[in-house]
Amino acid sequence: MFYGSAWAFPGGRVDPEDTAVGASPFDEQAGRTAAVREAQEETAVVLVSDALVPLSHWTTPPGRPRRFSTWFFLASATTARVTVDESEIDEHWWARPADALAAQHRSQITLPPPTFVTLGWLEGFNAVNSALAAARRQVLERFVPRVTTVDGHPVSLYQGDAGYDTGDPNAPGMRHRLWMRPEGWRYERP
């Protein structure tokens, strides 16, 4: 699945200058440096690397023609003014997580699965500082989805789901998955 016109958080790739000498371009520090640079390039929003709080790391499922290693960070923006240059971004919308999820449900916007899951997590907080504090306390979650189908519709299985290791969505036990059905998406987690 490709989400070319989807609504997503600012992002991009790790450039060679984002990686310290001898370090991996996949490490957290390279991700932080790239996140700060990309946010400024794409939106003109200025972030400070040390203020970024790691929330999760996503890796595209194996077997895909292009795979991505993506860090999700939380931060309090130092400026609320976003520049839409119609090159890096076409539109922007400061929205509460619940509003973005509702817009997806009404088919007004498309969200990639990692953005949908992240917004679902953020929806549980009524203030930026609360979300930042919770992210600081939690263990970084790593997602490597295993996508299967149920009744002809995709389901992303995540680590901890009873069917994750086997790819069997009917395996009895714990559920940690994203149902992507036409009538609406649902993130299921204990």
Mean pLDDT of 15-29: 90
Domain segments of the chain as ranges: 1-89+128-144
Confidence of residue 187 (pLDDT cuts 50, 70, 90): very high
| Proportion of the chain above pLDDT 90, given as a percent | 68
* pLDDT score for 2: 46
* pLDDT score for 75: 93
DSSP labels for the chain? ---TT----S--PPPGGGS-TTS-TTSHHHHHHHHHHHHHHHH-----GGG-EEEEEEEPPTT-SS--EEEEEE---S-------SSS-S------HHHHHHHHHTTSS---HHHHHHHHHHTT-SSHHHHHHHHHHSPPEEE--EEEEETTEEEEE-TT-TTTTTT-TT-SS---EEEEETTEEEEE--
Q: Over 90: is that where the pLDDT of 11 sits?
A: no
Q: Which CATH class is domain 1-89+128-144?
A: alpha beta
Mean pLDDT of 156-161: 97
Contact yes or no for 163/169 (Cβ under 8 A): yes
Confidence of residue 4 (pLDDT cuts 50, 70, 90): low
φ, ψ of residue 185 to 5 degrees: the values are: -90, 150
* pLDDT score for 146: 96
Tens of pLDDT, residue by residue over 32-67, are 999 999 999 988 888 999 999 999 999 998 888 888
CA distances from residue 125 to 9, 54, 76, 97, 134 in whole angstroms, order as listed: 18, 16, 14, 9, 9
Q: Over 60: is that where the pLDDT of 1 sits?
A: no
Rounded mean pLDDT of the chain?
A: 92
* pLDDT score for 3: 56
